[in-house]
């Protein structure tokens, strides 16, 4: 039986985990606090986690941070968001960010396509 090919987000998440372990090896209190705060703000509160992940996706997309976009796309997929929900969120990012975000849109939708069709 053929082994399933790893998609770019799965590969990214493995690399991210490895690199975060290295960061934590050297991290002092300020870095540890930042990482903790990042984890805490995405927990369910007045907004569900899925909405928070869409917000993180849009903010990352507008900033054109490919690593962050991949992370939030992976989390959106884990949270069970639909392709239409992700597409609408990216459309908001496109309006806010303008045409300079089009290359990021291409990469984001390619990564999403790998997740849903994978």
Ordered by where they begin, the domains of the chain are: 8-117 (1.20.1290.10)
78: its two tokens: 């884990």
Query: Which pLDDT belongs to residue 65?
Result: 96
Contacts of 27 (CB under 8 A, 6+ apart): 35
Task: Measure the CA–CA gap between 102 and 94, rounded to whole angstroms.
Answer: 7
Q: At what angle do helices 102-117 and 49-63 cross, to 10 degrees?
A: 140
Mean pLDDT of successive 10-residue stretches along the chain, which has 118 residues: 77 95 97 96 96 98 96 97 98 98 97 90
pLDDT value, residue 5:
76
User: Mind giving me the DSSP string for 9-26?
Assistant: HHHHHHHHHHHHHHHHHH
Q: Say which DSSP state 118 is in.
A: -
The pLDDT value given to residue 117: 87
pTM above 0.85, yes or no: yes
């Amino acid at each position: 039986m053929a082994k399933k090919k790893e998609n770019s987000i799965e590969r990214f998440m493995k690399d991210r985990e490895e690199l975060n372990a290295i960061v934590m090896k050297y991290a002092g209190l300020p870095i540890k606090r930042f990482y903790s705060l990042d984890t805490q703000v995405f927990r369910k509160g007045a907004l569900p986690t899925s909405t928070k992940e869409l917000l993180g996706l849009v903010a990352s997309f507008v900033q054109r941070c490919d690593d962050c976009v991949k992370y939030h796309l992976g989390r959106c997929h884990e949270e069970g968001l639909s392709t239409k929900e992700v597409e609408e969120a990216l459309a908001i990012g496109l309006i806010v960010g303008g045409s300079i975000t089009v290359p990021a849109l291409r990469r984001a939708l390619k990564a999403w396509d790998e997740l849903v069709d994978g």
